[in-house]
Structure 1
Amino acid sequence: IDITTSFYNLHHVFQRELGDDMGFLAWRDAGLNPYGNSIIVNAKFLEANRPLIDRFVKVTQRAFRACVDKPEPCVQALVDANGALKFDNELQNWKLVEVLMSDKFSREVALGIHEDKRMQDDYELVRDYIGIDKPFDVKSVYTNEFLDRSIRMPK
């Protein structure tokens, strides 16, 4: 195999199977850094349930940070809920997810932050290569207002 795309958290599987010849290039190092996982809420639900969303986002942040601080119970809960998973593999997987979760903004501003320039870059990427029928201000489709700014990735 010369090149493939995959999720970084599975890199350890490729490396195990393909050996030392397996390299890795993070898309962000090549100038492409779109967001992956995000919490998405439609505008109507958001306006009707702001306190609920506020609590949900904050507890999600705390849960992710707790799993960073002590991953074993989190990984064990995942394995317990999904019988085909193996603890050691999922722990390796989680360690790679932590790498993806950690950047300047998650360490210095808030875990889960959507950084304005990165969002604008994502918008422009979609606009330029896929197309957008009705242009819009990208800042109108996301918010960081519910994040607890005291919850950050470790430095």
Structure 2
Amino acid sequence: MKKTMLSVIGAALIGSTGLASAEELNLQLNWTAGGDHAPIYYALQEGWYDEAGVELTVRQGSGSGAAATALDVGQTEIAIIDTPTALQFLARGSKFTGVMVAYNDNAAGLYWRRSSGIETIKDIAGRSIGAPAFDATRQMWVPAARALGVDPESVNWVNLQPTGKVAALQSGAVDVTTHFYSVHFIYEDIFGDDLGFALLRDHGMNTYSLAYYVADSVIKGKEEAVRNFVQTTQRAFAFCLETPDPCSQALSSAVSMRQSDAARQLEYAARVMPGVGNDLPLGSWNMDRIKADYTVVREAYDLGEFDATTKFTNDFIDESIAYPGM
């Protein structure tokens, strides 16, 4: 905790000096704004990016694949991407680099109704799973299924709109659906004791999840701005994980979300962001995990040899910023 508070003070002092002129940077979210983006909106509201000399523009997203594509073709400078998706792009030659972790643990889960006859994850064999074609869990289904002890070919995938998952599960149109843990409370509220759930992290599929990636050309041309962005974002995450209420309020105000929903999304996201057993500075990568993650992705997509650690860096991280309580 002491390290976190000292870091916040230090960042504020550095930011107060500012730069001669603000450097513009644009960020594309992985999806429409939710609880895990609250630190960004709080830092914007409080002027922390401005103080650090960064004029940040935030764009809503439509999936990690879309965010990675936008970053790859120069439509954005920074993007939040699910790391297994990013690794696919990087192995095929995309020119961007991971600079900060948002979710240290895999936040993806599978949801079902117990009344449908599914008691444990093994019972999904022969059932239907509803999700968009670009859904993160669907994209990584082969290694995920193996980790779960399920034959990957034993389920039938059904295409759904991203906003149609809960309704499809309610109606019985699908037996199972997928979602990130940040919206777990919605399923709890709707299904109550009938809810069945499996977090991939807890079943042997614990790849890094959402993280911040920056185009290599931007790192080269705006290195100081990237460093200021990363360290300001670290500062915001440290604050919001420890003091969530003002951050959920900032998110609610910025994107017209009910404050209660914003608060609960941040609460649930915070349960998987720091990572089980993780003692690294906030947002830092463990390169051994990157290697292991690429092994999983490589096998899933029949990719070639690639030293994934060359496309991830802790160089922009302020190592004095710790997760609250660490």
Does the pair score TM above 0.5? yes
* Alignment partners' CA distance in 1, 2:195 and 2:286: 31
Alignment of 1:89-108 (within 5 A): 89-103=261-275, 104-105=277-278, 108=279
SS at match of 2:322: coil
Partners of 1:45 and 1:70 in 2: how far apart?
Answer: 32
Once the two structures are superposed, the pairs formed by residues 113-132 of structure 1 within 5 Å of their partners are 113-132=284-303
Is 1:142 matched with 2:315? no
Q: Rg bigger for which structure?
A: 2
Residue identity opposite 1:112 in structure 2: G
Matches of residues 5-84 of structure 1 in structure 2 within 5 Å?
5-83=178-256
- Describe the shift of the 1:10–1:121 C-alpha distance in structure 2 as closer, same or farther (beyond 3 A): same
Whichever residue aligns with residue 213 of structure 2, its letter is I
| Letter paired with 1:143 | T
Q: How many residues align?
A: 151
Matched AA of 1:16:
D
- 1:102–1:23 CA distance, 2 compared to 1 (3 A): farther
TM-score by length of structure 2 reads 0.44
Greater fraction of residues in helix: 1
Consecutive unaligned residues in structure 2, runs of 5 or more: 1-112, 119-175
Check if 1:152 corresponds to 2:325.
no
Mapped to 1, the partners of 2:260 and 2:321 lie a distance apart of 27
Deviation at 1:91, TM superposition (A): 0.6
Structure 1 segments of 4+ aligned residues over 6 angstroms from their partners = none
RMSD: 1.5
- Once the two structures are TM-superposed, the CA of residue 10 in structure 1 deviates from its matched residue by 0.8
SS at match of 1:114: coil
Q: Residue by residue, what CA displacement relative to the aligned partner does 1:26-69 show, whole Å, maximum 9, x if unpaired?
A: 21221112222211112222122221111110000001111112
Partners of 1:33 and 1:118 within 8 A in 2? no
Where do 5+ consecutive residues of structure 1 fail to align?
none
Other structure's SS at 1:151 match = coil
The aligned amino acid for 1:149 is E
Bigger strand share? 2
Q: 1:87 to 1:45 in 2, by over 3 A?
A: same
| 2: CA distance, partners of 1:4 / 1:15 | 14
